[in-house]
Amino acid sequence: MDTQTDTAREAIAARVKELLESLGQPLLAPFLADWPLAYLRREIATARLPVLRWLPELVSGAAPFSADLVTAVCRAAPVLDWRQTYTTQDLEPAFLDNYGWSEIVGSVGPIQGERIACGFLILGPATCYPSHRHAAEELYLPLSGTAAWQQGDTQWRERAPGTTIHHRSEEPHAMSTGTAPLLALYVWRGANLAQKAQLDVYASLLVQE
């Protein structure tokens, strides 16, 4: 991959770190403490997904605090590796057409991270990401689009861009978008960053009905 591409990816990682630091929240301190001190590059494949059709709407709907980062991510989208954790055996095609994520720092992203995995989640409009869980502690920061979030069996709450959302290890959580797509920054922290998220079985059955 050319130097310009590597530079663009590293610039995104640097913007993410600067943004998290600027929030000044104690909750973020452990995540930032585990951020890699040096950016070690890794060769990755690039892959596109149907959900990337929402990039123009994500740019136009970005909050002022995140506009520069959202623009940078959307411009760099063609040289990022967009992935899906699930298949049609798990969830219906309509969900998969409106879902995808790309890691920028971590165990599979272009920048290596040992205790941190950081990237971007996209959900299309009117899309419910059903209840799921994972071993890693997680932080979400919506950058563009307002969505409703549920943690455990609590009531759904709308979370606007700029709201930090914390999930403990193995805490069930779900997200649901309204009329606009969602772009959210995520950061995973833990010893086993390669472990995938697991759907709650009951939630998966409900979505497929």
pLDDT on residue 50:
98
- With cut-offs at 50, 70 and 90, classify the pLDDT of residue 201: low
Does the pLDDT value for residue 152 go beyond 60? yes
**pLDDT digits 0-9 by tens, 41-54:** 999 999 999 999 99
- With cut-offs at 50, 70 and 90, classify the pLDDT of residue 206: very low
Query: Residue 156 is encoded by which pair of tokens?
Result: 């759904």
CA 190 and chain centroid, separation = 16
Q: Give which of 31, 65, 41, 74 is closest to 190, Cα–Cα.
A: 31
Does the pLDDT value for residue 113 go beyond 70? yes
The C-alpha torsion from 9 through 195 and 164 to 16, rounded to 10°, is -10
Instruction: Tell whether domain 3-208 is in CATH 2.60.120.10.
Output: yes
| Cα–Cα dist 27/112, whole Å | 23
- The domain locations on the chain are 3-208
**pLDDT digits 0-9 by tens, 156-198:** 999 999 999 999 999 999 999 999 999 999 999 987 787 888 9
Beta carbons within 10 angstroms of residue 166's beta carbon: 15
Q: What is the pTM of this model?
A: 0.93
